[in-house]
Amino acid sequence: MIDAYRTLAEPAKGRIQRKRSRFLSVVMPVGSPEEVDARRTEIRRAYHDATHHCSAYRLAATPDPIVASDDAGEPHGSAGPPILRRLEEADVLNVLAVVVRYFGGTKLGIGGLIRAYADATEAALASARIVVRRVMTELLIRFPPDVNSGVMATIHQCGADVRDVRFDESAEVRIAISPSTIPSFRAKLREATGDRASAEVLG
């Protein structure tokens, strides 16, 4: 479980040239495989006259990130993997990188391609603004009103954010909390309320 991750605030671009081949790179924040597909389609349309549209992405997931890369017609391993390695070295998640190539008439060889796709990705990342996003999980806490003080004290101790409170014959509080703290929060909640409160993960 991760409580925070590095990502991009907005899209950024880079550009390099190797032996008359031009490499234009775009890095952008994304949130799902479906959004990755949509953004890649947009870029292919925007640079429809390019020779290749190579890409890689990293998406936040538990226990490990979702990662993929695409050589898009370049020799195997010469484009997608070096793009992905640059994303990994930058330690960013929920990011898509696409590098489009306009062939200049001179072959670069496998080593040259690997360096070119890596350097193009690095050029875009160098111009990007990296931000840290917190990961929060919502919990719904149900409890009898007479243990309210114990519930609220536990919420405060664990640094959770209260999103909604409802009191009736029974009480409900919706909170947002860092995923890694949920087990300890539940243990403290049981102790503070005599095991009379439940905490259900929402979503």
Domains of the chain: 4-133 (3.30.230.30), 136-201 (3.30.70.240)
pLDDT tens-place string over residues 61-79:
878 899 999 999 999 999 9
Task: For residues 123-139, give the mean pLDDT.
Answer: 94
* φ and ψ at residue 157, rounded to 5 degrees: -60, -35
Task: Determine the Cα–Cα distance for residues 148 and 19; give it in Å rounded to an integer.
Answer: 70
175 Cβ neighbours under 8 A, 6+ residues apart: 138, 139, 141, 155, 160, 161, 162, 163
Residue 203 has pLDDT above 80, yes or no: no
153 Cβ neighbours under 8 A, 6+ residues apart: 192
Task: Determine the Cα–Cα distance for residues 149 and 137; give it in Å rounded to an integer.
Answer: 22
- 8 Å CB contact between 99 and 118: no
Task: For residues 188-201, give the mean pLDDT.
Answer: 94
For the chain, what percent of residues have pLDDT higher than 70? 100
In whole angstroms, what separates CA 43 from the centre of its chain? 20
The pLDDT, as a whole number, for residue 68 is 97
- 8 Å CB contact between 138 and 174: yes
Task: For residues 122-134, give the mean pLDDT.
Answer: 96
Task: Determine the Cα–Cα distance for residues 1 and 117; give it in Å rounded to an integer.
Answer: 31
pLDDT tens-place string over residues 146-191:
999 999 999 999 989 999 999 887 899 999 999 989 999 999 999 9
The pLDDT, as a whole number, for residue 114 is 97
Task: Determine the Cα–Cα distance for residues 82 and 116; give it in Å rounded to an integer.
Answer: 9
Instruction: Look at residues 124, 43, 113, 51 and name the one whose alpha carbon lies nearest to residue 86.
Output: 124
Count of other CB atoms within 10 angstroms of residue 185:
21
- 8 Å CB contact between 121 and 87: yes
- 8 Å CB contact between 100 and 13: no
What is the DSSP secondary structure assignment for residue 179, as one 8-state letter?
Answer: G
The pLDDT, as a whole number, for residue 61 is 85
- 8 Å CB contact between 14 and 119: no
